[in-house]
């Protein structure tokens, strides 16, 4: 399946897909690095799209289609005090995708934490190991679509 058809079959966000990276907030676009823009299939601002339906949840930010794979991207402060929040966001995303029976969950290229500022988590630290065990990639300064 393709990213666009996977989004279309995910009822909560089926009407939220945008062309290219246009669903990504302007302040966050510079943090997304896709080497060949022709391979961008579209993007979804999951957070904004689901804000009214899930107002009190730790919603995930974005889904980006690149080469028909889904890159789940969260732009968030990257300090050790935010690890719990990020794991909660990831757990919410996975549960929501399962409840939607979304094919995006099986056709993804990772869950990426992109720092909104400086990265304050050392590689190899217990916190970094906890993140890796949860399935989160990062935090990093940018998300590359070829990771």
Please write the tens of the pLDDT for every residue from 49-84. 999 999 999 999 999 999 989 999 999 999 989 999
Asked whether the predicted pLDDT for residue 45 surpasses 50, the reply is yes
**71 bridge partner residues:** 64
At 92-101, the pLDDT tens digits run: 999 999 999 9
d(CA 42, CA 20) in angstroms, rounded, equals 4
pLDDT of residue 137: 86
For residue 141, the model assigns a pLDDT of 78
Residue-level pLDDT at 146: 56
Q: How is the chain split into domains, by residue range?
A: 3-134
Per-residue pLDDT reduced to its tens digit, 115-130: 998 888 888 888 888 8
The band of 147, judged by pLDDT with boundaries at 50, 70 and 90, is: very low
The model's pTM:
0.92
List the 108-119 sheet strands across, edge first.
40-45, 62-66, 69-78, 108-119, 136-140
Token pair belonging to 100: 């939607």
Q: Residue 39 half-sphere exposure, CB side, CA atoms within 13 Å?
A: 13
Number of Cβ within 10 Å of residue 2's Cβ equals 15
Report the distance separating Cα 105 and Cα 1, nearest Å. Answer: 12
């Amino acid at each position: 399946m393709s990213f666009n058809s996977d989004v279309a079959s995910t009822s909560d966000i089926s009407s939220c897909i945008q062309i290219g990276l246009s669903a990504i907030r302007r302040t966050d676009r510079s943090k997304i690095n896709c080497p060949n823009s022709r391979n961008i299939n579209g993007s979804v601002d999951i957070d904004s799209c689901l804000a009214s339906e899930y107002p009190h949840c730790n919603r995930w930010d974005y889904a980006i289609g690149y080469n028909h794979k889904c890159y789940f991207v969260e732009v968030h402060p990257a300090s050790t005090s935010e690890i719990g929040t990020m794991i909660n966001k990831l757990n919410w995303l996975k549960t929501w995708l399962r409840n939607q029976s979304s094919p995006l969950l099986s056709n993804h290229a990772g869950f990426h934490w992109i720092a909104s500022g400086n990265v304050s988590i050392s590689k190899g630290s217990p916190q970094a190991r906890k993140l890796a065990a949860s399935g989160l990639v990062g935090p990093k300064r940018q998300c590359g679509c070829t990771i």
